[in-house]
Chains A and B, each alone.
Chain A
């Protein structure tokens, strides 16, 4: 598929801080794309620049082959759903949603039709005369969403849309967002710092750090083939062993661990990435350690072993197989399940 939104080499500096450093991303039509990263990585700056609320120092952004950056914010076929929702407090739900359509000077019956349709889609038709102050967090979020999609933008930008909701409502809204994106046929770009949210919701993710795009990939690729130590650490839970490569092994804090097939040469600094679910407990194993604590997560538990390394080793384990705390276990894994990355 060809590129729909093309972000090419954009940079932005605030004083001493390089918020965006030569960022290039191609986003496809009807894609659910996530900009993921820790706070201060530049993801929100990029989103606000796409909405036209922030200017860029350099770079080009085109939407369907037309320049986007020269179009003022109020003329862009792009709408932003704000983190704070930014609902107009003096207007009721209906007028909030109709606000953007009225600015397009559409005729009254069409506005009425479209507002009613979208309020039905987000199940808020009974609340249409309420003021934002009379709504719950989840309802406010849906009004903000309705207000943005009723304009039928080419791209909907969502700035941490679920961060203000509690965990249960959040997972419901994730499903809701996916359904809406599918129904409306709009390209969604979501900004989030929550890797689980990005993994569960997005078709593709761009992981950013300190103004730079570190990796662009599907959630599965990003989890199974992280490009750098930062990606491996940020996405999912992982054990990271930094050490020096030998032939077929890596020496980590005096211990030798097996490595997968690698193009890196012996003697290089490297990091071995081992996911907790790839490690199994048994009688014999590569390393052994004492169980320090276990965290219960419903179906499975995450166990922490002291294996003589500086950090504890994390192992995921089915609930009925959790050994008692203090017991010594042997940890084994297949070298081909681990990932070896060059350590800068």
Chain B
């Protein structure tokens, strides 16, 4: 008899929790195909809200801003996070330093946002996408560092010594041995940084300039005056992008485990 049949009455709380987790998201996706103008009343199937999205210059502008922030944040996080991870793993074996490097990942958003705003103001930095990128890179980098650091502690440090012993230079060893060994972790970390930045609201809200709103800020400003139906469609799109990226990241980590 298959194991899952033995769950018995435990199936009730299991399905209850699953419904609790996924009902709001399901309603969102379902209602995004609603023909009606009211976001709460189902009148028939339609994709018109998706075309409203595409034809709204404001939303497309926000989408572009969000993509710029997410992509640049990802690149900065990957480069700095990987270098930091290598430094922590290979050169400076201090647990205090490691804690300092990884803590930004769990900073409360609000504290980080207020702190960054205060810093930017005192430096007389004009706010815009660049300040959002700096802010996002600050906490996204910690995630990349954590993932790459974990991978580095799994790989045998004698691989690098072997490469040098076989006549490779330090730079050659890095690109031919170290980087390929940690590549899956870098990709996974980068994708995570991308999704984190994509829908980040609190920090962006505090550190962004008024002329370049990101998508979450636009959604927020739209919702303030009542939930319009295209919000459902927009949220569904953001959800799909995030889900897709997380799936790719997880597959990547699994492939890496098999090597």
Contact = CB atoms under 8 A, between A and B. Distances in A.
Interface string B148-171: 000000001011011111111100
A38 interface: no
Contact of A90 (B162, B165, B166, B259): B259
Contacts of A73: 161, 164-165
Contacts of A89: 159, 181, 259
Contacts of A82: 158, 161-162
A250 interface: no
A108 interface: no
Given A104-B167, A147-B166, A86 B161 contact: yes
Interface residues of B, number: 18
Contacts of B165: 51-53, 73-74, 79-80
Determine which residue in B159, B162, B168 has the highest number of CB atoms from chain A within 10 A of its CB, and name it.
B162
A333 interface: no
B72 to A, nearest CB: 29
Determine which residue in A86, A99, A133, A151 has the highest number of CB atoms from chain B within 10 A of its CB, and name it.
A86
Interface in B128-178: 156, 158-159, 161-169, 172, 176-177
B162 A75 contact: no
Interface residues of A, number: 23
Residues of B contacting A: mostly:
helix
B69 to A, nearest CB: 33
Interface in A69-96: 73-75, 79-80, 82, 84, 86, 88-90
Nearest to B157: A86
B259 A100 contact: no
A84 B156 contact: yes
Contact of A74 (B169, B176, B181, B259): B169
Contacts of A88: 159, 162-163, 177
Interface in B195-254: none
A103 interface: yes
A341 B188 CA distance: 65
B115 interface: no
Given A82-B158, A84-B156, A86-B158, A99 B259 contact: no
B87 interface: no
A213 to B, nearest CB: 25
B156 A86 contact: yes
A227 B108 CA distance: 69
Given A88-B177, A89-B259, A74 B164 contact: yes
Interface string A184-210: 000000000000000000000000000
B166 A151 contact: yes
A79 B166 contact: yes
A99 B165 CA distance: 11
Contacts of A51: 165
Given A75-B167, A147-B166, A133 B172 contact: no
Interface in A258-276: none
Contacts of B167: 74-75, 100, 103-104, 151
Contacts of B176: 99
A86 B172 contact: no
14 contacts: A51-B165, A53-B161, A53-B165, A73-B165, A74-B166, A79-B166, A80-B161, A82-B161, A84-B158, A86-B161, A99-B176, A100-B166, A103-B167, A151-B166
The 9 closest A-B pairs by CB, nearest first: A100-B166, A86-B162, A103-B167, A86-B158, A90-B180, A74-B164, A73-B164, A80-B165, A82-B158
Interface of B: 156, 158-159, 161-169, 172, 176-177, 180-181, 259
